[in-house]
Structure 1
Amino acid sequence: MANVLSLQVGRAKTYGNAQSKDFLDKEWHSASFKEVSKTPLFARFIGLDGDEVADTTHHGGIHKAIFANSYENYAYWASFLGVEHLPFGALAENLTITGLHERSVMLGDVHQIGTAILQVSQPRKPCWKISRRWNHTAFTNEIFTSGLTGWYYKVLQEGVIGLGDEIKVVTQKNAHVTILEANEAFREPEKYRSVLETILEIPSLATSYKESIIKRLKNESDLSYMKTQ
């Protein structure tokens, strides 16, 4: 059984030193420091109540309304970062989920969580900010390389999500492309071209996500959003 283990929201704030040129110290603006909510939250078409997005060009919007991450990955990330324990929301996710994983969640899947109906819209594309969040320049690249990115939801029906809510799979799409497979194909487009072409046939996915797939197939991708140096 899959459940919501924790849910988090965060406000956009400014961190760092405006005068510094060092990546790990220079000023940056982010809402990636999420706080655990002990009360249920209303999931709107644009996201959870109380949550903000700092970079509205690359994050947020109806196709990236809610970011989910699998708790199964926490032990791996704690080991990678050299810490004993990671707090909920460590990957800047809104929903920390148990019982689901990138290898089982498929693009286009529809999930009911609480009274909200959500659709898996795309994998998270890790940017440099998660490296800043943990003061580890290799973290963003490791998320990209491992494929353990988490996934975004589009809200199909607004509703309330609370701690412990069961995640019910309402429908699974025929394409059967998992988040892990999508990430693997994006990382190695020449090897997994057929997977990327299959993704382009999934009607529920955002035009912007499909455009990024097309650019990847044409070897025209701009991956500068991950740059940490």
Structure 2
Amino acid sequence: MKIISTNIAQPTLFTWNGKEVTTGIYKKPTDVPIYLGKEDVIGDEVSDRRVHGGEFKACYLFSANHYPYWRGLYPNLEWTYGMLGENLTVEDLDETKLIIGDIYKLGSAIVQITIPREPCFKFAYKFGTDDVLQQFINHGYSGTYVRVIEKGKVQVGDNMELIESTKEGISIFQLFDLLYAVKKNKDHIQLLMNSNSIPEKLKKRLKLFMR
């Protein structure tokens, strides 16, 4: 897996339901390396830290392989890497093979796979329609957030290399499906209850389905 674009955002204002909202979803490619900190990418806008940034969402990765799908749905938008809100656009990133808890070398940083991205109203605003939210869920390829174990720089051309595998775990693709499935896989939920790679808030949310 190779990094083909590094992306950051400046704060962007828009009006939503009569209120002014700031977002960092309008990411653009950079021509310099980016630095992965423990809770965010240095210099990148994180407008609402209740849902972005922090230990389990320090950096967001999305696969370049899914860009043709989204460009096909929205050909009239201005397309650059970073369009899906990712800090790192990664060639051949495959959510079905990214196991929660796995550890990767990413440039000079060390990161751990944590949780998928869930689409929100800011994502819908950027694409100009609420339809994109269900389309994102139906497509199933969410990209992944990572925890930064060791801070470091990442630049275009760097590889994403697996250095430590989780013995028992589920993939980012499986967790994303679990979040929206009507019938929850309780075996998957139980595995997640024993994981230190997802936030307690998500564990509490999933635990409700074990009753």
TM-score normalised according to structure 2 size: 0.92
Q: Shift of residue 58 of structure 1?
A: 1.4
**Which residue among 184, 187, 190 is the counterpart of 2:177?**
184
Deviation at 1:86, TM superposition (A): 2.8
Residue 193 to residue 160, structure 1, CA distance change in 2 (3 Å): same
**Offset at 1:141?**
1.8
Match of 1:205 in 2: 198
Please name the residue that 2:127 is paired with: 134
Q: Is the 8 A contact 2:169 2:191 kept in 1?
A: no
Residue of structure 1 in register with 2:24 after alignment: 31
Residue of structure 2 equivalent to 1:4: 3
Query: Does the 8 Å CA contact 1:200/1:210 hold for their aligned counterparts?
Result: yes
Choose from 88, 91, 99 the match for 1:98.
Answer: 91
Consecutive unaligned residues of structure 1, counting only runs of 5 or more, are 219-229
Structure 2, unaligned stretches of length 5 or more?
none
Distance in 1, Cα, partners of 2:210 & 2:190 = 9
Same amino acid, percent of matched pairs: 23
The match for 2:42 among 49, 53, 58 is 49
What is the CA–CA distance in structure 1 between the aligned matches of 2:86 and 2:39, rounded to whole Å? 15
Instruction: Please report how far the alpha carbon of residue 176 of structure 1 lies from its aligned counterpart in structure 2 after TM superposition.
Output: 3.5
Deviation of residue 85 (structure 1)? 7.0
Structure 1 residue 13: deviation in Å?
Answer: 2.3
Instruction: Provide TM-score, normalisation by structure 1.
Output: 0.85
Q: CA-atom RMSD, angstroms?
A: 1.9
* Alignment of 1:173 onto 2:166: yes
Q: Which residue of 1 aligns with 2:100?
A: 107
* Separation of aligned partners in 2, 1:209 and 1:84: 33
Give the residue type in structure 2 aligned to 1:179. Answer: I
Query: Residue type of the partner of 1:173?
Result: T
Counterpart of 1:158 in structure 2 is: 151
Taking the aligned partners of 1:28 and 1:69, their CA distance within structure 2 comes to 24
